Structure 1
Amino acid sequence: MDNTVNYSELFSRLLDNEGNLNNSMLTFLYYMFPRDLFIRALSLLESNDMLIYILEEGLVNDNSTGKEAERTVTLADKPTSERSTNTLEDKQDTDSIKKGNNSSDTDTHERIEDMDKLLKDIYNDDDYQLLYRLIVKSDNESPIYVDLKDWTCSCTEYCELFSKEIHSAEESNTNNSTIQDIMINEIDDIEEFKEDRVGQLDAYSFSKQRYFKIDKIMCSHLLAYSILLRSSLKNLNYFVQKKSNVLLIRISNIDEWLKLHINIVI
């Protein structure tokens, strides 16, 4: 792995002009990463085990569902005079269903547009204004929490690589070095700024660029989510919408969001 390479640009070429996986680029990336890292990341992307949980802003305090339930009245609760009009209401309901079928295409189009906008917001969220979490589910182990913002992962591979780098620094008599010195590259010269988003920390800073040394620590989970969220919007659309390999779970209830943190993130 080379720190001078723009990984975001390489990953953006993962799909060809027809929107399918580019076999030539797949082969190139396979040989570029050690430990079968790319193959494992690609397998993750196609496994249906990668999840994106997002807390939808503006829906947390929405009590419209409860209010609607309060207005619901069963037929048994209605007065006799209201029951006599039931047949007419049923006919009107049937007509409404027919009209509803005609508008189904419009509803589908609106849902697609809504999803497109949400994916675009997630992909462009460099300043981390959105609340979303990246989780990899596992049948035999605890779910894995991935954080591209700080380049961390709760998997065993990441922990082992991190520990190895710390021990190597201690053995090479660099005890005075901080973890930041060991793990992070800083670029102060604006003329040397890079466009690469993979491993970038504090992406919203205009005076300094900071990159995690991904050549030292990279697991398949961080690589997979980087391909998804740090390369090209078309990659995100491909795996979430076209192939439905990555699940986007929208949470509108703050209690459910807190349960997610208690059960998985923490």
Structure 2
Amino acid sequence: MMPLLTENNALIPQSNALWKSYLENQTSPDMAHSSRRFSQDFWINYETLVQKAKAVKGSQKINAVQKYKQSANTQSMAQLFYRHWHKPFNLQEHLSLNPPVKTSNNPPDDASQTRFFVVMLVMFLSGMFALLFDKEVLGFVMITVSIIVSLTKAYSMDTIDTMNLLPAYEFSVDNKSVYTDKVFFAPNFLTYQFYDPQQDGAVKIHIPYAFITSIWEDDRGIKVVGRNRAMWKDTQSQATHEVILPNEKLLRSFLSDVAMFNFTQTKV
């Protein structure tokens, strides 16, 4: 009897069954009566097997190519990561060593500061000349005032510069507090986590670097943009959220290179 060949049967057992039926037919006493019909069925099934084998081989080749490209992309992304960083890290660790600087709405006037210190220098030198001409009280007052005022001004300038540094342990986006110790940069992916008051809980987002297409800068920081534009699904409810990081130059450089790498991969 000719075996029934279906799309669900494995090719090797199917082939074995086909050739077994052929051998049985050759030794059958009724071969003379059934030979023509059997031969037609045999070659129809044989052609079916050949076509299925070609389809499976082609599919395996495509899958192999896709797996190779995916492996090569992952390896290259890890190489890109280690060109920027020595090891995986979290955001708090990074910001403690590389605090971003806020953009000042009122940048200091360098010219006015220079004029101020020139005036203080003139006062100091005038006090020195007063001492030389036996005007001790006037000279002492001028020297003392110039020194105290200059030191006070210098201290206030240093305090302003220090206040412009963002605390490494605090980073908020709108009304959401980002857990900087749980924002993790691995060789092939980024994990982003923040507290959402609307959900009254932590929201976690997993972002493979291969999905990043560009970055945007705004007043809040660096917005990470992916294939679905500027929104990413969280791992719990599959709701979409923005992913915004501090606008720090090393992070910005790394994410820009990631986006550029992904862009060049689409052109290959």
Q: TM-score, normalised by structure 1?
A: 0.25
Larger Rg: 2
Q: TM-score, normalised by structure 2?
A: 0.25
Bigger share in strand: 2
